Amino acid sequence: MKIVADENIPFVRQAFEPLGDVVTAPGRQMTPEQVADADALLVRSVTKVNAELLDGSTVRFVGTATIGTDHLDTTYLDRRGITWAAAAGCNANSVAEYVVAALLVLARRDGFRLADKTLGVVGVGNVGSRVVRYARALGMTVLKNDPPLQRQTHDRRFVPIERIFEADLVTLHVPLTRQAKDATWHMVDADFLSRLRADAYLLNTSRGAVVDGAALRNALQQQRLAGAVLDVWENEPDIDVELLELSALGTAHIAGYSFDGKVIGTRMIRDAACRCFGLSTEWDPRPLMPPPATPQLQVEACGRDPQDVVASVVASIYDIEKDDADLRAVGGLPLDQRGSHFDRLRRDYPIRREFGTTRVIVPPDQRGLAPIFENLGFLVG
């Protein structure tokens, strides 16, 4: 069996070579010639999988090591009888931790307490539900909006979108769809932005086109919003540099790039491929995982504000401001080099382990901090 895979899928050779011959290639440059005689194709979000890529090929399985599928023409795949699978939820915790890091940075910069703020969460699936839990661990009031899930569950704890406009910060965790009833393409348009509070922040870690970038740029230019945190962009990798400069934090579509989340994605599409081809699904990546950069951290909390303590611990595990600075370097590059800079940041992204790989040692006289760290996923000693 021949398997063609995006070279950036971690442990792809270790995971798939027991199943067949693995050929890796840059995801954004995959060609019909490369996949013509393949049995399986493994991609990430940068590869458009459609008739243009697969017509005439022998591909029988497509796996995307991502939670989203908007880069897959699933109608075409179904028509061709090609089995396809995504890694739904694989990087949900990584994205939620990114949101935690962003919230703490915004609070530090603007001098507010998260416990005094309301967070509006639009989309409460794998990622959004974790964001809700972590925001509550930080003491925030949370408003949840998810019309499809509300119709499915009849849960009265969801609120209409009008309530979301009351929030101090609004974070988006929705798929990119163009379906009429729950379409999310440009869901955040000029009208949506005009209804947000002037002192509100908008966070987008879902898909770039969920937000009308031009409308957001105008709102920020006119100071009709306090700021934006953007990890995803329209027209990636050729992003709107002016919008980046106006944003409070901007990163190169790496919110879900914890190493833990990526490896879960590899395992999930391996399992799906094995089911498709009738092979054994046994594969344990744990022996391959690198040790965390900070396996243990002693909390210094005496006389410090608890929010500041949490912020310093989170920053020591994940420094979101470094990712922001790395992307902002794009503004000093010639136009024809900006897209490759964006892609390089993603391709060469350093290993980032999740909170749960670090043990936080809380002093006996500061045990009130322990539940916060536990609820954020840290090990607590």
Catalytic residue positions, numbered: 207, 236, 253
Helix/strand/coil for 57? coil
Angle at 372 between CA 369 and CA 376, to 5 degrees: 140
d(CA 143, CA 164): 7
Element housing 244 (H / E): helix 241-246
Q: Which of 248, 272, 262, 267 is nearest to 327 (CA)?
A: 248
How many angstroms separate the CA atoms of 131 and 121, rounded? 8
How many other C-beta atoms lie within 10 A of the C-beta of residue 242?
14
| All residues at 6 or more sequence positions from 224 whose CB lies less than 8 Å from its CB, including other chains | 193, 194, 196, 198
Number of helices (H) and strands (E) in the chain: give both, helices first.
16, 14
